[in-house]
């Protein structure tokens, strides 16, 4: 069992940066690949990116590639989402999630979810 808690959301102007954190409970954090998703009002939850168990491999969707960076610190049971050059269309609730498998992009493939943190980007 893994419990995930996101933090670091907030409001920024376009072009700004935010770093989200996702703290995990339990001693098995390093066994999970971690993903980040986001959900804008009226839209389905969408995959943003993921990082493998060791932190050595990452994957991003095209809309955030080059702007967002995922990293993890297994000693701290934490995964991060660094978001740069933010755009108004990045506005959403951001969720972290844990999966046994790599590489999975669908919500159904992730076993555990955080509660989400709001990111608002104004133009």
Average pLDDT, 10 consecutive residues per value, the chain (123 residues): 95 98 91 97 97 96 98 96 98 97 92 97 97
Rounded Cα gap, residues 97 and 76, in angstroms:
16
The predicted pLDDT at position 25 comes to 94
Chain centre distance of CA 115: 12
Element (H, E) at 99: strand 92-99
Other CB atoms within 10 Å distance of the CB of residue 42: 5
Collapsing DSSP to helix, strand or coil, 29 comes out as: helix
Q: Please tell me the number of Cα atoms within 13 Å of 48 on its side-chain side.
A: 28
Q: In this predicted structure, what is the pLDDT of residue 27?
A: 74
pLDDT reported for residue 26: 80
């Amino acid at each position: 069992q893994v419990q995930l808690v996101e933090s670091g959301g907030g409001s920024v102007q376009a072009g700004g940066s935010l770093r989200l954190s996702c703290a995990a409970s339990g001693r098995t954090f390093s066994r999970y690949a971690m993903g980040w998703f986001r959900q804008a009002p009226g839209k389905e939850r969408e995959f943003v990116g993921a990082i493998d168990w060791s932190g050595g491999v990452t994957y991003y969707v095209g809309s955030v590639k080059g702007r967002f960076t995922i990293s993890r610190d297994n000693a701290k049971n934490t995964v991060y989402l660094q978001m740069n050059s933010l755009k108004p269309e990045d506005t959403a609730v951001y969720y972290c999630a844990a999966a046994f498998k790599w590489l999975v992009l669908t919500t159904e493939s992730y076993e555990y979810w955080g509660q989400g943190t709001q990111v608002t980007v104004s133009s």
